[in-house]
Amino acid sequence: MSRTSPARAKGAPSGRGQAHSIRIIGGDWKRTPLPVIDLDGLRPTPDRVRETLFNWLGQQLDGQRCLDLFAGSGALGFEAASRGAARVLMVERNARAAAQLRANQAKLSARAIEIAEADALRLAASLAPGSFDVVFIDPPFGEDLLGRSLELAAPLVSADGFLYVESGESLDAAAHAALEGWSVVRQGKAGAVYFHLLQRENEE
């Protein structure tokens, strides 16, 4: 997401009206390029990070319900839908970025995808607990939104589900009250981006 405003979306580097694109890595739309608008601070999840993440998740997400907060380019949400997710709710506040998400949804005839042009935190607060199997969160770096994002997103994950977090620093689950009872099961780093997959700890 943007380094300067929650209204900006994550994705490609800034420029002057240049076209950018992402490429779906696997699933039904494998190798399909999707346009990404040029917005300052936009940084799509890189190909190799997505490939690693979906290896962790088991490649296919058949029948699963996914939430992509701070959707930006939609790289994670479109990838999830390509891999069989039954529902993907993508939340993006920036009007231009949301319009591009809708255009890409139409290009793919992606019926499983819902796009909400809304503030991610406000919308997350209105969603039912346990209503998603995978929640992706990648709040704007430098905006001090990670703690609140975790607080709102963690309850939305189903009992055996996963929480995926991208951040500008390594995530210490113990440092966040919202992640009590959670553990980082996988993690990695690509450039300046740290990425983590979390799951609730087994209480037995």
Number of domains within the chain: 1
Predicted confidence band of residue 139 (pLDDT cuts 50, 70, 90): confident
Mean pLDDT of all residues in 54-76: 96
Structural contact between residues 76 and 164, judged by C-beta atoms closer than 8 angstroms: yes
Listed in sequence order, the residues at least 6 apart from 109 whose beta carbon sits closer than 8 Å to its beta carbon are none
- Asked if residue 84 belongs to a domain, the reply is yes
Mean pLDDT of all residues in 163-176: 93
Residue 64 has pLDDT above 50, yes or no: yes
In whole angstroms, what is the distance from residue 20 CA to residue 25 CA? 16
The angle, 0 to 180 degrees and rounded to 10, between the axes of the packed helices 47-56 and 75-82 is 50
Structural contact between residues 104 and 75, judged by C-beta atoms closer than 8 angstroms: no
Residue 183 has pLDDT above 90, yes or no: yes
- Asked if residue 28 belongs to a domain, the reply is yes
Residue 38 has pLDDT above 70, yes or no: yes
In this predicted structure, what is the pLDDT of residue 9?
40
Predicted confidence band of residue 11 (pLDDT cuts 50, 70, 90): very low
Predicted confidence band of residue 14 (pLDDT cuts 50, 70, 90): very low
Listed in sequence order, the residues at least 6 apart from 88 whose beta carbon sits closer than 8 Å to its beta carbon are 66, 67, 68, 77, 78, 80, 81, 110, 112, 113, 114
Whole-number percent of the chain with pLDDT over 70: 89
- Asked if residue 15 belongs to a domain, the reply is no
Q: What is the CATH number of the domain that holds 79?
A: 3.40.50.150
Find the domain containing 118 and state its range: 20-200
In this predicted structure, what is the pLDDT of residue 41?
67
Tell me the pLDDT of the chain averaged across its residues.
88
- Asked if residue 10 belongs to a domain, the reply is no
- Asked if residue 7 belongs to a domain, the reply is no
Question: What pTM value is reported for the model?
Answer: 0.88
**Selection from 187, 175, 118, 181 nearest residue 155 by Cα:** 181
Q: What is the dihedral of CA 84, 33, 92, 197, to 10 degrees?
A: 50
What digits encode the pLDDT tens for the residues 144-165? Answer: 889 999 999 999 999 999 999 9
